[in-house]
Structure 1
Amino acid sequence: MTAAVSIQGLSQRYGAALALTRIDLEIDAGEFVVLLGPSGCGKTTLLNIIGGFAEPSEGTVLIGGRDMAGVAPKDRPTTTVFQDYALFPHMSLRDNVGFGLRMRGVDRATRAAKAEAMLALVGLEGRGDRRPHELSGGQRQRVALARALAVEPDVLLLDEPLGALDLKLRRQMQDELKAIQRRVGTTFIHVTHDQEEAMAIADRIVVMNAGRIEHHGPPREVYLQPKTLFTAGFMGEINRIPVAGGRAPFGPVPVADGTLLIRPEAISPKGSLHIGLCKVEDVAFFGPHVRAHVTPLTAPDLRLVVHLPQSEAVEPGGVLDLGAEAHVVLRE
């Protein structure tokens, strides 16, 4: 099962503070949407309202066309996977996964079969008799996911479910989470503050800031064509260069006024937007690339971040002739 989610004019107040302000968002059935933003931006509040754990001050949430006003969490076609897994330590994995079915009155044999099928789906086939303490963090996360999927929700809500994992395991789980979502076809709404995680798993990223949606779109669009300065900065490193009267600090550019935005990896000796000769201030080897700070000789007060190929022989004090392959101009 899967369903679309429609959020219309949603606001949430806590006393005089506005946690969400007039949120409008349409999520297609079967879509993997990531709510992305810094702590306090309202993403978890929005997830809690969708799941029924909080009632909005204003606005409407529709799931599969049904108004969720006054509908308790247990009666909504949603389940939630939390960061802390919330597994029962005294129960076997089979009983943990089948717990939601048990609460719905499903008989023991049926829920055991369903639990085993869900454990197989998340790569834990044949481990139903084990206890949570026998598993790694990543395996416990898979069990929590299997338990949520066992009740066949129309919409699965994930509240920073990978936040407690180390980097290598988190990346592995990102791949697995995306693959599972593709197989089951359920609508996933996933909260994170990790930009790389969002780009790795999302069909669409919703960037939030101070209770508002700044930008939503496919990962490539949000990263390469940000609509706001906040989105540009939050989605990773970016060079912000003021432009006035068709000139940047390093020389003429093909735009009149605004802020010229260039990603570090878009700067190279082959770039068509000419920056000119730049002095290398410092260099750090990051594995996939070499990260350097450079200063254009024609603009000594301008400091740019550049990502060069790992094979590039560059040292502090050297001079590079650089340009930009791609750029965006915002007028805010």
Structure 2
Amino acid sequence: MTAGVEVERISQHYGSTKALDDVSLNIGEGEFVVLLGPSGCGKTTLLNLIGGFAEPTAGHIRIGGRDMTGVGPKDRPTTTVFQDYALFPHMTLGDNVGFGLRMRGVSRSDRRAKAEEMLSLVGLSGKSDLRPHELSGGQRQRVALARALAVSPDVLLLDEPLGALDLKLRRQMQDELKAIQRRVGTTFVHVTHDQEEAMAIADRIVVMNAGRIEDDGPPSRIYLRPRTLFTAGFMGEINRIPVLDGQCPLGSIVAGSGTLCIRPEAIGLDGGTPIGDFKLQEAAFYGTHVRAHFLSESSPDVSLLVNLPQGSSAEPGQVVELFAKDMVLL
């Protein structure tokens, strides 16, 4: 089973604090949507409202076309996976996964069969008799995911489920989470503040800021063609150059006025639009690239962060001509 989610003009106030301000969002059936933003932007509040853990101050939420006003968490077609796993330490993995089914009156034999199926789905086949303390953090997170999926929710809500994992394991779990979502076809709504994680797993990223939706679209568009300066800066490092009537320190390279945004990897020693001569100030090898800082020869107050290829031979003090592509004026 899977269902779409309609968020219609939702606002949420806590006293004088406005956590959400007139937010509207449609999530399609079977879509993997990531709510992304800094702490305090309202993303977890929105997830909790979808899950029924709070009622909005204003607006409506519909799941599968059904209005959820007054419907509590246990009666909604949703389940939630939290960062802290929330597994029962005294229960086996099989009993943990089957707990929601037990609460719904499903027979023991059917619970065990479903638990085995779900544990197999998350790569833990044959481990149903183990207990949570015998597993790694990544394996416990898989069990939490299996438990949530065992009750066949229409919508699965994930509240920063990978935040407690180390970088290598987090990346592995991102791949697995994406693959599992494709297999089960359930609508996933995932909250994170990690931009890389959002781009790795999402069909669509919803960038939130100060209780509002700042941007909304597929990862490539959000990163390469952000609609606001906040999105441009939040999604990764960016060079910002002021432009007035087509004039900027890099020359007449764009029309209009605003802020010219250029990603560090979009600047190089060849290809694209020439943007002038720059002196290399310092560089550091980052494995996948060389992170370099350049200072303009013609405008000393203009510095650029540039990601050069691994084999770059530029040395500090050297003056080179730089070229840019994928520039966005905001």
Answer yes or no: same fold by TM over 0.5.
Answer: yes
TM-score scaled by structure 2? 0.99
- Unpaired runs of 5+ in structure 1? none
Cα distance, 1:254 vs structure 2 = 2.5
Give the partner amino acid of 2:64.
G
Any idea what SS the aligned residue of 1:252 has? coil
Cα distance, 1:136 vs structure 2 = 0.3
- In the TM superposition, 1:138-217 aligns within 5 A as 138-217=138-217
Match of 2:242 in 1: 242
Alignment pair present for 1:329 and 2:329: yes
Cα distance, 1:114 vs structure 2 = 0.2
Match of 2:127 in 1: 127
Instruction: Note the alpha carbon deviations across 1:41-88, whole angstroms, 9 max, x for none.
Output: 000000000000010000000000000000010000000000000000
Separation (CA, whole Å) in 2 of partners of 1:246 and 1:174 = 42
Instruction: Note the alpha carbon deviations across 1:144-188, whole angstroms, 9 max, x for none.
Output: 000000000000000000000000000000000000000000000
Separation (CA, whole Å) in 2 of partners of 1:171 and 1:36 = 17
Instruction: Note the alpha carbon deviations across 1:70-119, whole angstroms, 9 max, x for none.
Output: 00100000000000000000000000000000000001000000000000
Match of 1:291 in 2: 291
Equivalenced residue count is: 330
Cα distance, 1:246 vs structure 2 = 1.3
CA contact (8 A) 1:38 1:209 kept: yes
Any idea what SS the aligned residue of 2:287 has? coil
Any idea what SS the aligned residue of 2:242 has? strand
Match of 1:67 in 2: 67
Match of 2:319 in 1: 319
Give the partner amino acid of 2:329.
V
Instruction: Note the alpha carbon deviations across 1:178-201, whole angstroms, 9 max, x for none.
Output: 000000000000000000000000
Separation (CA, whole Å) in 2 of partners of 1:323 and 1:210 = 36
**Structure 1: 4+ residue segments shifted above 4 A:** none
Separation (CA, whole Å) in 1 of partners of 2:104 and 2:123 = 25
Any idea what SS the aligned residue of 1:49 has? helix
Match of 1:100 in 2: 100
Any idea what SS the aligned residue of 2:96 has? helix
Any idea what SS the aligned residue of 1:248 has? coil
CA contact (8 A) 1:93 1:132 kept: yes
Cα distance, 1:27 vs structure 2 = 0.2
Separation (CA, whole Å) in 1 of partners of 2:250 and 2:179 = 46
Q: Percent identity?
A: 72
Instruction: Note the alpha carbon deviations across 1:263-319, whole angstroms, 9 max, x for none.
Output: 000001223222111011110111100001101111110111100100111222111
- Which deviates the most, 249-258 or 23-32? 249-258
Instruction: Note the alpha carbon deviations across 1:179-236, whole angstroms, 9 max, x for none.
Output: 0000000000000000000000000000000000000000000000000000000000
Cα distance, 1:255 vs structure 2 = 1.3
The root-mean-square deviation of aligned C-alpha atoms, in Å, is: 0.7
Separation (CA, whole Å) in 2 of partners of 1:314 and 1:168 = 31
Separation (CA, whole Å) in 1 of partners of 2:325 and 2:226 = 16
Match of 2:279 in 1: 279
Alignment pair present for 1:38 and 2:45: no
- In the TM superposition, 1:16-95 aligns within 5 A as 16-95=16-95
- Which deviates the most, 274-283 or 57-66? 274-283
Separation (CA, whole Å) in 2 of partners of 1:250 and 1:183 = 49
Any idea what SS the aligned residue of 1:161 has? coil
- In the TM superposition, 1:225-240 aligns within 5 A as 225-240=225-240
Give the partner amino acid of 2:257.
D
Separation (CA, whole Å) in 1 of partners of 2:262 and 2:254 = 14
TM-score scaled by structure 1? 0.99
Separation (CA, whole Å) in 1 of partners of 2:56 and 2:27 = 18
Give the partner amino acid of 2:28.
D
Cα distance, 1:135 vs structure 2 = 0.3
